[in-house]
Chain A
Amino acid sequence: MIEFMKAFKYLLPLSMLIGLDSCNNFLDVQPRSSISDDQTIIDKASAETAVNGVYDSFRSYYSINFQSIGYLSGDNIQWTGSQSQIQEFINHRVNAENSTVSAVWTGIYSTLNRINHVIEKVPNVQDPLLTAPLKNKLIGEAYFLRALAYFDLARIWGGVPIVTKPTATPSDNRGIERATQEQVYAQVLADLNAAEPLLPATTDRFRATQKTVWALKSRYYLYQKDYAKAEEYASKVISDAANYKLVTPYSAFFANDARGTTESVFEIFYSVNETNGHRGQWQPQEKGGTRQWAPNDAFVALVNDPEVGGNRNALVAKDNQGRWYGNMYYRSPATDPTFVIRIAELYLIRAEARAQTGALTGALADLNAIRERAGIAKSTAATSDQLLLAIENERRIEFALEPHRWFDLVRTGRADKVLNVTDPNRLLLPIPAEQLLIDKALKQNPGY
Chain B
Amino acid sequence: MRHYLFKNRGPARSGQRIGWLIASLWLAVSAAFAGPADELTGKVTDKDGAALPGVNIQIKGTTQGTVTDTDGNFHLNVAEGQELVVSFIGYVSQQVRPGRQSSLTVKLEIDQRQLNEVIVVGYGTQERKNVIGSIAKVDPTDVKSIPVGSFDAQLQGKVPGVQITSNTGVPGEAVTVRVRGATSINGDNDPLYVIDGVFMNSNSMQTTNTGGKATSPIADINPNDIESLEVLKDAEATALYGSRGANGVIIITTKRGKFNQKAKVSLNASYGWAKAAKLWDLTTGPEHAQLVNEWWINTGKDTPSLNRTEANRPFRPVSEGGRGLPEEQKTYDRLGEIFQTAPLQNYDLSVSGGTASTKYYIGGGFTRQESILKPITFNRASFKVNLDQKISDKIQVGVSNSFARTFRNQARAGDGPAGGLLQAALHTPTYLSPTNENGELVGRAGFDNVTLLLQNYDVKSVSLRYIGNLYAEAEILPNLKFRTSWGLDFNNYDENEYWNTFLITGSPNGFASANNGQATTWLNEQTLSFRQKIGAKHSFGILVGNTIQSDLNTGTAATGRGFANNSFKLISSAATTTGSSSWSKKNLASFFSRVDYNYGGKYLLDFSIRADGSSSFGADRKWGYFPSVGGGWRVKQEDFLKNVAAISDLKIRASYGVTGNQNGLGSFAALGLWSSGSSYQGNPGIAPQQLANPDLQWERTNQLNAGADIAFFGDRLGIEFNVYRKYTSNGLLSLTLPATTGFANYRSNTAEISNKGFELAIRSVNFQNNTLSWITTFNVARNVNKIEKLENPLEYGSRSLILLQQGHPLYSFWVYKQLYVDPQTGNTVYEDVNKDGKITVADRQIDGSIWPKFFGGLTNTVTYKGFDLNAFLAFSYGNKVYNHNKFFGEGGGARDAARVIFASNNDRWQKPGDVTDVPRPDGVNVNNYRDGGSRWLEDGSFVRLRNLTIGYTIPVRHISSLRIYATGSNLFTITKYTGLDPESSASSAQNEQGIDLGTPPQPRSFQLGVNLTF
Give the docked Cα–Cα distance between A339 and B994 (Å): 42
Interchain CB contact under 8 A, A4 and B742: no
Asked whether any CB of chain B lies closer than 8 Å to the CB of A317, the reply is: no
CB distance from A65 to the nearest CB of B (A): 13
Taking CB atoms, residues of chain A closer than 8 Å to B689 are: 34
Question: Do B480 and A4 touch across chains, with their CB atoms under 8 A apart?
Answer: yes
List residues of chain B with CB within 8 A of the CB of A8: 528, 544
Interface residues of A in 59-73 (CB under 8 A from B): 59
User: From B590, which residue of chain A is reached at the shortest CB distance?
Assistant: A19
Q: Which of B176-184, B200-208, B239-247, B577-585 participates in binding chain A?
A: B577-585
Q: Are A163 and B740 in contact (CB under 8 A)?
A: yes
| Closest chain B CB from A100 CB (angstroms) | 14
A306 to chain B, nearest CB (A): 22
Chain A residues with CB below 8 A from B716, complex form: none
Residue contact B507 to A288, C-beta cutoff 8 Å? yes
Contact B740 A12 (CB under 8 A): no
Roughly how many angstroms separate A186 CA and B544 CA in the complex, as a whole number? 69
User: Which of A15, A106, A438 has the largest number of chain B CB atoms within 10 A?
Assistant: A438
The reply to whether B587 and A27 contact each other, CB–CB distance below 8 Å, is yes
B671, A439: Cβ atoms under 8 Å? Answer: no
Alpha-carbon gap, A382 to B358, bound state (A): 105
> Nearest CB to that of A111 among chain B residues?
B742
- Verify B479–A4 contact, CB threshold 8 A: yes
Q: Are B446 and A291 in contact (CB under 8 A)?
A: yes
Q: Could you tell me how many residues of chain B have their Cβ less than 8 Å away from some Cβ of chain A? A: 97
- Assuming the A-B contacts A50-B686, A288-B506, are A174 and B737 also in contact, with contact meaning beta carbons closer than 8 angstroms in the complex? yes
Select which of B509, B674, B737, B742 is within 8 A of A35 by beta carbon.
B674
**Which chain A residues numbered 77 to 121 have a C-beta less than 8 Å away from chain B?**
80-82, 84, 87-88, 93, 95-97, 105-106, 109-114, 116-117
- The one of A19, A59, A112, A438 in contact with B591, judged by C-beta atoms closer than 8 angstroms, is A19
Complex CA–CA separation, A147 to B509 (angstroms):
40
Q: Closest CB-CB distance, B838 to chain A, in whole Å?
A: 12
A286–B448 CA distance with the chains assembled, in angstroms: 9
Q: Which residues of A contact B444 (CB under 8 A)?
A: 321
Contact code string A1-35 (vs B, CB < 8 Å = 1, else 0):
10110011001100110110001001111111111
Q: Please state if A285 and B443 are interface contacts (CB–CB under 8 Å).
A: yes
B686 A36 Cβ-Cβ under 8 A:
no
List which B677-703 residues lie within 8 A (CB) of chain A: 677-689, 691-693
> CB within 8 A of A53: which of B447, B508, B622, B678?
B678
Q: For residue B477, which residues in chain A have a CB less than 8 angstroms away from its CB? A: 3-4, 7
Chain B residues whose CB sits within 8 angstroms of the CB of A30 once the complex forms: 668, 671
Using Cβ atoms and an 8 Å threshold, which residues of chain A touch B504? 285, 288-290
Known: A31-B667, A52-B679, A96-B841. A437 touches B743 (CB 8 A): no
State whether B738 touches A174 (Cβ < 8 A). Answer: yes
Kindly identify which residue among A40, A51, A110 contacts B742, using a CB–CB cutoff of 8 Å. A110
Q: Which residues of B contact A93 (CB under 8 A)?
A: 926
When the two chains form their complex, are residues B800 and A97 in contact, meaning their CB atoms are under 8 A apart?
A: yes
Would you call A290 and B676 a contact (CB within 8 A)?
no
Q: Is B107 an interface residue (CB 8 A)?
A: no
Contact, CB under 8 Å: A29 / B667: yes
Question: Is A48 interfacial (CB 8 A cutoff)?
Answer: yes
Q: Is B613 an interface residue (CB 8 A)?
A: yes
CB contact under 8 A between A167 and B673, given known A26-B587, A29-B586, A50-B686? no
Quick check: is A292 within 8 A (CB to CB) of the other chain? yes
Map CB proximity to B onto A308-320 as digits: 1 under 8 Å, 0 otherwise. Answer: 0000000000001
Give Cα distance in the complex from A168 to B841, angstroms: 34
Contacts of B578 in A (CB 8 A): 272-273
Chain A contacts of B417 at CB under 8 A?
Answer: 290
How long is the Cα–Cα vector from A161 to B738 in the complex, in angstroms? Answer: 11
| CB-based contact A292/B446 at 8 Å | yes
Q: A324 on the interface (CB 8 Å rule)?
A: no
Across the interface, B507 reaches (CB within 8 A) one of A84, A116, A285, namely A285
B744 near A106: Cβ-Cβ < 8 Å: yes
Give A207 to B737 CA distance when docked, in angstroms: 30
- Whether A274 contacts B562 by the Cβ 8 Å rule is no
Q: Give chain B residues whose Cβ lies under 8 Å from the Cβ of A15.
A: 526, 546
Is the C-beta of B635 less than 8 angstroms from some C-beta in chain A? no
User: Is residue B924 contacting chain A, with contact meaning CB distance below 8 A?
Assistant: yes
* A52 with B743: CB separation less than 8 A: no
A289 to B418, CA, bound (A): 8
Give chain B nearest CB distance to A298 CB in angstroms: 11
Instruction: Confirm or deny: A181 has a beta carbon within 8 angstroms of a beta carbon on chain B.
Output: no
Docked pose: A109 CA to B742 CA in angstroms: 5
Residues B674 and A170 in contact, CB atoms below 8 Å apart? no
**B739 in the interface, Cβ–Cβ < 8 Å?**
yes
- In the bound complex, CA of A140 to CA of B692 (Å): 29
Residues of A within 8 A of B898 (CB): 80-82
Q: Does A55 sit at the interface, judged by CB under 8 A?
A: yes
Enumerate B163-209 residues with CB–CB distance to A below 8 Å.
Answer: none
Q: Of residues 385 to 412 in B, which have CB atoms within 8 Å of A's CB atoms? A: none
The interface bits of chain A over 133-151 (1 if a CB of B lies within 8 angstroms of the residue's CB, else 0) are 0000000000000000000
- In the complex, whether B888 has a CB less than 8 A from a CB of chain A is yes
CA distance A31 to B437 in the complex (A): 56
B981 at the interface (CB under 8 A from A): no
Q: Give the docked Cα–Cα distance between A189 and B442 (Å).
A: 52
CB distance from A405 to the nearest CB of B (A): 18
The distance in angstroms between the C-alpha atoms of A273 and B578, with both chains bound, is: 7
**Given A80-B898, A274-B682, 17 more pairs with CB closer than 8 A:** A29-B586, A34-B668, A36-B673, A51-B685, A56-B679, A59-B680, A80-B446, A97-B800, A105-B739, A111-B742, A166-B742, A170-B691, A170-B746, A288-B504, A322-B437, A332-B507, A433-B841
26 contacts between A and B (CB under 8 A): A4-B532, A15-B526, A29-B668, A34-B676, A35-B673, A35-B676, A36-B673, A37-B692, A49-B685, A52-B680, A55-B681, A56-B687, A169-B691, A170-B691, A170-B693, A170-B741, A174-B741, A175-B738, A274-B680, A285-B446, A285-B448, A288-B418, A288-B505, A290-B417, A435-B738, A438-B737
A interface residues, Cβ below 8 angstroms from B? 1, 3-4, 7-8, 11-12, 15-16, 18-19, 23, 26-38, 40, 46, 48-57, 59, 80-82, 84, 87-88, 93, 95-97, 105-106, 109-114, 116-117, 161, 163, 166-170, 172-176, 206-207, 269, 271-274, 283, 285-292, 320-322, 332-333, 420, 432-435, 437-439, 442
The 3 closest A-B pairs by CB, nearest first: A113-B742, A52-B685, A288-B507
